[in-house]
Structure 1
Amino acid sequence: MPASQSSSAQSARQALANRLRDVRLDAGLTARALSTAAGWHEAKTSKIENGKQQPSEADLRTWCAVCASTRLLPELIAELRSVDSMWLDWRRAEQTGLRHLNVSVRELYDRTKQYRSYCQSMIPGLLQTADYTTAVLTSLRDRRRVPVDDVAATVAERVDRQRILTEGGHTFAFVLEESALHYQVGGPEVLAGQLRHLLDVARLASVSLGVIPAAVDRTPRWPVEDFYIFDQAQANVELVSGFLTITQPREIAMYAETFTAFSKLALYGSKARTLIRTALAELPV
């Protein structure tokens, strides 16, 4: 894996390597014995166990067969596929603009029945107004020097995606930090329109909106990076340098547990709307 990719992805690759070493040790085999039984050079086993060479699915099948651990094969393959697909570098992904990335996840949103989202400083995309989305994407285009200017087309794609909020068959749970109600993206008028829109969508039957007050005791759980959970299938995490897609079940479960913990800190219903109205009243518009 190139050094430019996320340390989180590299850590995931090393975690898989460590698991394979443990499988070998639990089977009571030396690296040489495993290599001989597998029919490959001992150097390959060493590279795999040290995270310097990523195994193929065929390698995993051989490894598990030699170690009499075929029961672990489905989980190890899932972990390998997670490592393969988890990291998307912004610079590489945005060479042809922003719209194609949003189009590529349309089917994911359409098929997701239970969507959960935690955001620390921004209003999540499904709840954004067109003006707020335009401000966000324009900032990203300029900051990351995206070579293709397709902001307008990307905004249209994102706005169209919001139809799933009302078409039935989906539920949406959003938890925001109170700070997300105050950070201005596009100026006070854009934020004011966004907060008014938030009050409207919070009343939709499909939507649960929680706001974690700034003054709440954060001992149980403090803020983390923004993340989005799609059913039990995957979790997406946005980082400064790229985009993580997590498909390993135990890792998805960690994000789901974190979301539940944040949900318990949040205010809902009229109390959440009071926080939104307070933020709106504080704007100089």
Structure 2
Amino acid sequence: MPPHPSSSVQKAREEIAGRLREIRRDAGFSGRELAVRCGWSESKSSRIENAKTPPSDSDIRSWCRACAVDDQAPDLIAANRQSADAHVQWRRLQRSGLRRLQESTGDLYQQTRMFRVYVSDVIPGFLQTPGYAAALLSSIAGFRGTPDDVSDAVVARIRRNAVLNHGARRFSFVLEEAVLRYRMCSAETMAAQLGHLLGVMDLQNIAVGIVPFSEQRTVWPMPTFTIFDDVRVHAGTLDAASTLTEPSQVELYARAFDRLSHGAARGAAARSLVVGALASLD
């Protein structure tokens, strides 16, 4: 059973506290000396180091400045801010169903101007047809035991995906070829989905790359992730959707996306892979 959300929050706080403790020790300071340099009580340093009191942004800046590692402050501040919601447990949404999950990212989608999406398992949610989305969400609902609101969830997903039609936004997708082959639905529904994908590939604000099975890889297939502008990453796992905002984390995923994108077929070569997958449905 996945950990309770509160345990994830505490674990994140403990990790931040541990990083601050290591910074102090690497600087060669005692807790008392650090407190003097920061201008607060020794007990405050102890509470922060033992994850009893979450540090504020200014606390982290003071801590890093006192230890002469100001460059580490941005990552620590980002981690501190996301500690309460970075690890969003899927089971928190079970009471309200999958529709709520689709709607929960609506504001983020409206605010983002550049989306980079890598998928290794299913057609990206942005590009799904109602039929494919219904089959996939039904499978998820059955596996996770969520309320049966698949029809409403599909409507919410398609409504959310209207951002694709806004020319001011840019989308870059990298798909593993396996995504075109996995049978998540009937052959008829899959054929419609692949046909829709071919149509989407003609849109000016959308770039689709497909990594062929035959490609000599420079980086391994990874779990699905989405980068929103250059400030946020959503990385999916079986039990949770992690939100990552530390600059170093975002940079790491951006580097991975670039590597994966480098080996992707595009244009006519990518369309040929989709057509081949369509032909295999016969």
* Structure 2 residue identity aligned to 1:233: V
Q: Secondary structure at the match of 1:217?
A: coil
CA contact (8 A) 1:114 1:170 kept: yes
Bigger drift between 10-19 and 242-251 goes to: 10-19
Q: Distance in 2 between matches of 1:70 and 1:262?
A: 32
What is the Cα deviation at residue 25 of structure 1? Answer: 2.7
1:202-260: CA deviation from partner (whole Å, max 9, x where unpaired)? 11001100000011112x10101100011012000110011100111110011011000
Question: Hey, what does 1:106 align to over in structure 2?
Answer: 106
In structure 2, relative to structure 1, the CA distance for the partners of 1:123 and 1:28 (3 Å cut) is: same
Asked if 1:195 is matched to 2:197, the reply is no
SS of 2:22's partner is helix
The corresponding residue for 1:273 is: 271
In structure 1, how many angstroms separate the alpha carbons of the residues matched to 2:238 and 2:122? 14
- 1:182 Cα deviation after fit: 0.5
What is the RMSD of the two structures over their aligned residues, measured on CA atoms? 2.7
How far is the alpha carbon of 1:30 from its aligned partner?
1.0
Give the unaligned 5+ runs of structure 1.
none
Q: Deviations over 1:14-67 (max 9, x none)?
A: 55334312331344311344457632537535524xxxx462316536645765
Q: Is the 8 A contact 1:117 1:175 kept in 2?
A: yes
Show the 5 A alignment for 1:132-281. Answer: 132-146=132-146, 148-218=147-217, 220-281=218-279
Distance in 2, matches of 1:243 and 1:28, equals 38
Equivalent residues of 1:119, 1:225 under 8 A apart:
yes
CA distance in 1, matches of 2:127, 2:34: 53
- Distance in 2, matches of 1:68 and 1:262, equals 36
Post-superposition CA distance 1:134-165 (Å, at most 9, x none)? 0111111110000x222111111111222222
Give the C-alpha shift of residue 93 in structure 1.
2.3
**Mean Cα displacement is larger for which, 54-63 or 118-127?**
54-63
Cα distance change of structure 1 residues 217 and 29 upon mapping to structure 2, 3 Å threshold? same
Contact 2:171 2:205 in 1 (8 A): yes
Matches of 1:3 and 1:30, distance apart in 2? 34
Cα distance in 1 between the residues matched to 2:48 and 2:79: 18
Q: Where do 5+ consecutive residues of structure 2 fail to align? A: none
Partner of 1:39: 41
Q: Would you say how many aligned residue pairs link Structure 1 and Structure 2?
A: 277
Distance in 2, matches of 1:153 and 1:251, equals 34
Show CA shifts across 1:158-211 (max 9, x none): 112222222210010000000000001122111111001100001100110000
Q: Distance in 1 between matches of 2:7 and 2:274?
A: 36
Identity of aligned residues (%): 37
1:94 CA drift (Å):
2.5
Deviation at residue 83 of structure 1 after TM alignment: 2.7
Equivalent residue number for residue 89 of structure 1: 89
Answer whether contact 2:76 2:246 (CA < 8 A) is retained. Answer: no
Q: Residues 112 and 169 of structure 2 are in contact (CA less than 8 Å); yes or no, is this contact kept in structure 1?
A: yes
Cα separation, 2, equivalents of 1:45 and 1:16: 9
